Structure 1
Amino acid sequence: MAVIYISVGSNIERHKHIVAGLDAMAAVFNNLRLSPVYESKAVGFEGSDFYNLVVEAHTALPIADVVAELKRIEDNNGRVRGGKKFAPRTLDLDLLLYDDVVCEEPIELPRDEILHNAFVLLPLCDIAPALTHPLTGQCIADMWHAYDKQKQQLWAIPFAWQQAEVG
């Protein structure tokens, strides 16, 4: 089984879409473990604040099938495709890591956002601080420690899923 990390975000009916996305991922992947949920300002465009978290899961599916499942879940939650890259989202699911695979196809892994976005790096650090980034060789905790925290502000929020607190 591969260990995967998925970035989850929403800024349209945030709670509803995050819960629906988690429910759908739980039906496809094994042993979901969730970071705390963070709220942050939209990055790259003017829009409502986002909820973001990172999910660790296990899967026997190959990378292409994981990506197809994530797209299916997004689509089932009203994700509009073909629009601007930086725009409001009902649900945004991005595969960040698949074990220690480095590849360009079927998607870029590890996902570049890990290095640049607090809303990805902090929740990833929360659930996998000792994990080593396959390209930089740094552990995620060291990467978060070195990150310029003035670039993006985020704050943890209370969030429950399946009658359990997240995080």
Structure 2
Amino acid sequence: MTRAYLGIGTNIERDKHAQVAITQLQRLGSHLQVSTIYRCPAAGFNGAEFYNFVIGLETDLTLSQFAAQLRALELAYGRPENAQKQQDRTLDIDILLFGDVIRQQSPQLPRADIFKFNFVLQPLYELCPELLVPGEGRTIEQIWQQQFLSIGGMSNLTAISLPLSDDY
């Protein structure tokens, strides 16, 4: 089993798609952890506010199988196949960490978003502060302590409560 951490984002029908992510990802693994869900502005473009959060889970899938399943999930819930960066999303699922894997090609691991965006680093810190980031030599907590304020701190993050539903 491999422990994976996923960054989840949605700014179209946010409640529905956040719930879909949680429900559907339970089917791809076990020992699911869900961080606080944060509402925050779109990063890099003018769009509706996003819900962003991190899910940790154990999976017995290979990285390529896992990535393919995540892509299929995004497409099944309305993401255009030719979606571009920096645009509105029904469901965006990024692999942040996949065990000890280090890769430069897609999916890049560890994902650079960990170091750039407070809406990724804060929820990741909540779930696994002591985790040593592969190839980095620092834990999530050390990265959080060293970089969190410089990438915005909590300034644009608002914790929200998601009404849970089994309708998806």
In structure 2, distance between residues paired with 1:58 and 1:39? 26
Structure 2: stretches of 5+ with no match in the other structure: none
Counterpart of 2:116 in structure 1 is 116
What pairs up with 1:118-137 in 2 under 5 angstroms? 118-137=118-137
Give the C-alpha shift of residue 83 in structure 1.
3.5
Counterpart of 1:28 in structure 2 is 28
Between Structure 1 and Structure 2, how many residues are aligned? Answer: 163
Aligned-pair RMSD on alpha carbons? Answer: 1.6
Q: TM-score, normalising length from structure 2?
A: 0.91
The answer as to whether partners of 2:116 and 2:151 remain within 8 angstroms in 1 is no
Give the C-alpha shift of residue 108 in structure 1.
1.0
In structure 1, distance between residues paired with 2:66 and 2:113? 18
The answer as to whether partners of 1:74 and 1:93 remain within 8 angstroms in 2 is yes
The answer to whether residue 102 in structure 2 is matched with residue 102 in structure 1 is: yes
In structure 2, distance between residues paired with 1:144 and 1:52? 17
The answer as to whether partners of 2:15 and 2:163 remain within 8 angstroms in 1 is no
Structure 1: stretches of 5+ with no match in the other structure: none
Give the C-alpha shift of residue 81 in structure 1.
2.9
| Counterpart secondary structure, 1:45 | coil
Amino acid at match of 2:164: W
| Counterpart secondary structure, 1:126 | helix
Counterpart of 1:62 in structure 2 is 62
CA shift digits 1:38-77 (9 cap, x unpaired): 1111001001110011000001100001100110110111
In structure 2, distance between residues paired with 1:41 and 1:14? 13
Q: TM-score, normalising length from structure 1?
A: 0.91
In structure 1, distance between residues paired with 2:13 and 2:103? 33
What pairs up with 1:47-58 in 2 under 5 angstroms? 47-58=47-58
